[in-house]
Structure 1
């Protein structure tokens, strides 16, 4: 279900992207509506799939996972990780997979505790197709809130 977002919806999304732990009372104060109205709007955004979840953003280095890599993959058919993401259920080090256009079919973000662990994950990923990896040196922009759609 696609919904059209108004200025209040975007104000709620901005606030929740900034701090998803805000109470309905605090959200209501920020957008100048009642808490029940805010709760109803947030539920509508969740039901429409605009809000897909709430989670903490964790720094992998601070959490003991200092090796981060981006892995470009070319895979096809029954072994394609974008068509069959369940193939990676036993590889928790793969924390994100994006399907791409062009000659590379996907990009996987891998987080490990050591280069040796990264090598093990890369060997496992090679079973599913051709891989090319790059270790992340730093992440100047780790996350940003979504811009407002026009």
Structure 2
């Protein structure tokens, strides 16, 4: 799967926008929305997947509804020789719901959910001997994850 340098046409853009709003939309609904037959819409979806434009169809879950009212961004700077161990700890801790390996002073920027400040401390204690952390509690998310500009 490569990323050929192909522009998305208006139909592809409308399909992606519709699916970003509701990935559970039926193929029939999607086809009607973008003005195609169901087989044509299915073929376009298949091509978008083959090109790597669509990698998954997913659901957006609200952590607070599952008992995780607190979210934090944690910047992690592993101590010398601890990078792979810290990465494994992050991967194996289910409260870390997202993590990026980045350039700069910190090696990882992660998002985690927690039920309480005490649980946050317990999670961070797993990393404390192997890395320095800097934690910021999330007050609000004025921009949720969204599509990049499609045109």
**Smaller-chain TM-score bracket:** 0.7 to 0.9
Q: Structure 2 length normalisation: TM-score? A: 0.85
Conserved? CA contact 2:78–2:86, under 8 Å: no
Contact 1:78 1:84 in 2 (8 A): no
User: Which of 13, 17, 22 is the matching residue for 2:16?
Assistant: 13
Pick from 128, 135, 138 the counterpart of residue 136 of structure 1: 138
Alpha carbons 1:94, 1:110 under 8 Å: kept: yes
Distance (Å, rounded) in 2 between the aligned partners of 1:136 and 1:29: 39
* 2:65 counterpart of 1:57: no
Give the Cα–Cα distance (whole angstroms) in 2 for the partners of residues 77 and 7 of structure 1. Answer: 50
Find the partner of 1:117 among 100, 116, 119. Answer: 119
- Could you say which residue in structure 1 is the equivalent of 2:30? 27
Kindly indicate which of the two structures has a greater share of residues assigned to helix.
2
The yes-or-no answer on 1:66 pairing with 2:82 is no
Alignment coverage as a number of residue pairs: 148
CA contact (8 A) 1:94 1:108 kept: yes
C-alpha deviation, 1:85, in angstroms: 4.6
Query: CA–CA distance in 1 between the matches of 2:53 and 2:86?
Result: 24
Gaps of 5+ in 1: none
| Partner residue, 1:44 | 47
The one-character-per-residue Cα deviations of 1:50-109 (angstroms, maximum 9, x if unpaired) are 21212221121222101111000112676336x985443420000000122221222010
Q: Secondary structure at the match of 2:99?
A: strand
Q: Distance in 2 between matches of 1:48 and 1:111?
A: 33
